[in-house]
Amino acid sequence: MSLETASFVLKRVPVDSVGIQERCNFFTQRSIKKSSKLDALYASIQLMDLTTLEGSDTPERVKQLCNKARYPMTPALSEQLSRMESFRPIPSVAAVCVYPEMVSVAVKALQGTKIQIASVATGFPSGQTPLKTRLEEVTFAVEAGATEIDMVIQRGAFLSGDYQRVYDEIAAVKEVCGLAHLKVILETGELGTLEKVRFASDLAMEAGADFIKTSTGKIPSAASLPVTLVMFQAIADFYTRTGRKIGMKPAGGIRTAKQSIHYLVMLQETLGPEWIRPELFRFGASALLNDVLKQIAKQLTGHYFYDKAFSLD
């Protein structure tokens, strides 16, 4: 099956599931020098989106998250580690992601920083609201100050084969985003197969996505190395064909520094070092940050710190 757009016929690309898994196993077995590991840990922080997407979100909670985004490590621990020879100041994260109603709070809390303000929209996480409502939600978030929009595709339409509708809706959201970057969430855990993940990736990029993203984080099946590798390959092929670099955001289920390094190794060897920057790669993994900080402290001092040394938000 294919999708015919105004300028391109989008066809299904076969995916070798066994080969994908073998390559992913290879990436997890790479040996990394201590200095390179420390570089990867620092990079992981700079590539991270911190998120709060709960019905219980309050302005105070968003402000607290924004403070964590600006200053990931507590001042006391930073002061202690600064005495170590290899210490470098802990960078801020790439972005904070909130619901549209909380965008203005985040904008004020992050004023004067380079941290991006992302907002989920388009009926997150189901995408089942009318298109007009979804577009109004995007417009509201952008006017409030969001610099990035994380939209979800209508998986019901995709799974029923109504690819033109999915394409048209992404294009419509992209248009109302204006200068804000559009990250398209595929919710890969609901798509069923790697071939469908590849087709959805190709469709989203052709429709105008600036980023493609694995998951909402709201279902058990979230990011995985095989799914991410398939999406990397789609990005590589799209770049070869169009010369346009699309970003990638694995989200959900990435909780340890070790996992983040596996993803960065795969990114380096699939898309190249030019993708290892916030403009083209993000981790959607708020639970990851404290483990990365813990591993940085371990690399610098040779021992682990108690969890209470790190903020729990």
207 Cβ neighbours under 8 A, 6+ residues apart: 166, 167, 168, 170, 171, 174, 184
Residue 6, class by beta-carbon neighbours within 10 Å (0-12 exposed, 13-18 middle, 19+ buried)?
exposed
Copy the structure tokens of residue 142. Answer: 């952008």
Q: In whole angstroms, what is the distance from residue 68 CA to residue 307 CA?
A: 16
Catalytic residues: 150, 213, 249
Q: Over the range 269-298, which residues count as b (16 or more CB within 10 Å of their CB) and which as e?
A: ebbeeebbebebbbbbbbebbbbbbbbbbe
Q: Alpha carbon of 74 to those of 46, 108, 163: distances in Å?
A: 17, 22, 47
